[in-house]
Amino acid sequence: MSTVRTSGPKQAARAMWALGDYHRFARELVWEVGPVLVEACHVTVGDRVLDVAAGSGNVAIRAAERGAQVVASDLTPENFAMGRREADARGVELEWVEADAEALPFADHVFDVVTSCFGVMFAVDHRAAANELVRVCRPGGRIGLASFTPGGTEGAFFELVARHAPPPPPGALAPVLWGDEAHVQALFGDHLDTLETTRRTYVERAESPAAYRRLFEETFGPVIALRSALAESPERLSAFDRDFAEFSERENRGAAGAAEYVYEYLLVVGRTPS
């Protein structure tokens, strides 16, 4: 496994995503999206696949189950241990590499398929990250992304966090821009032969809105880090908790006390020039 030297905002981002239990979070809420991306990219036996910002392997493990040769890369290698356990339980092997999405440690044009599911969208420099995805993909290869769109429940959640969090690093763009068709076209349009975008939805479920909030507070690094920072000011922490409770009640589409939240994402599949 390579070692990435991080400092400043990236060091903070790595520490933030290492908090909690991301694998539990992913398994309970977003795990169903991984196979959608693998299917959309037509991953098959023998493909060499790179999953960027892979977390604990939502996409990478599913690609390996199809017989692909898979590299799962992430800035936060603390999540790899649970990914390896999940892969072992499913009887597949893949390589886990610590890597910065804005400066991937791979040669040019070496992967048949490059993917990212709710991952590369958090890179500070969107242009640099997009260029890296294209650079490491072979001629005629496929690039597949799943990114939250700016509206709906997902937009409301990002707005909630941004309202209470410190300002982002200078020059940072909103992650949900990766879910905007025009932004994606601007990032990739000059570098790909084809670029298809489709809006899809999935549902996050919990026993109740309170249980949904607890899951975030116990497992999701950004919320854990935010609540820890706000703990120095009880009034600000109370304000965030109040707003999070209001969000979880307002956006709930479940019945009879159950919690169901419909999230929209942009599924992007492109092909590099042959």
Residue-by-residue DSSP string for 166-189:
PPPPTTPPPGGGGG-HHHHHHHHT
Domain 8-203+264-271 in CATH 3.40.50.150? The answer is: yes
Q: What value does the CA radius of gyration of the chain take, rounded to a whole number of Å?
A: 18
Residue 266, strand partner residues: 147, 199
pTM of the model: 0.95
pLDDT of residue 6: 56
Residue-by-residue DSSP string for 23-49:
HHHIIIIITTHHHHHHHHTT--TT-EE
Cα separation, 30 vs 189, in Å, equals 28
Answer for the pair 51, 71: CB distance below 8 angstroms, yes or no. yes
Cα separation, 203 vs 56, in Å, equals 20
Q: What does DSSP assign to residue 150? A: S
Cα separation, 51 vs 47, in Å, equals 12
| pLDDT one digit per residue (tens) for the chain, 274 residues | 445 655 578 899 999 999 999 999 999 999 999 999 999 999 999 999 999 999 999 999 999 999 999 999 999 999 999 999 999 999 999 999 999 999 999 999 999 999 999 999 999 999 999 999 999 999 999 999 999 999 999 999 999 999 999 998 888 899 999 999 999 999 998 999 999 999 999 999 999 999 999 999 999 999 999 999 999 999 999 999 999 999 999 999 999 999 999 999 999 999 999 9
Structure tokens at 142: 């496929």
Domain ranges of the chain: 8-203+264-271
Q: How many CB atoms lie within 10 A of CB 62?
A: 26
CA 234, distance to chain mean position in Å, is: 30
Residue 268 identity: V
Structure tokens at 184: 């994606």
* CA torsion through residues 142, 148, 151, 153, sign: positive
Nearest to 145 by CA among 158, 134, 157, 154: 134
CA 142, distance to chain mean position in Å, is: 18
Q: What does DSSP assign to residue 251? A: S
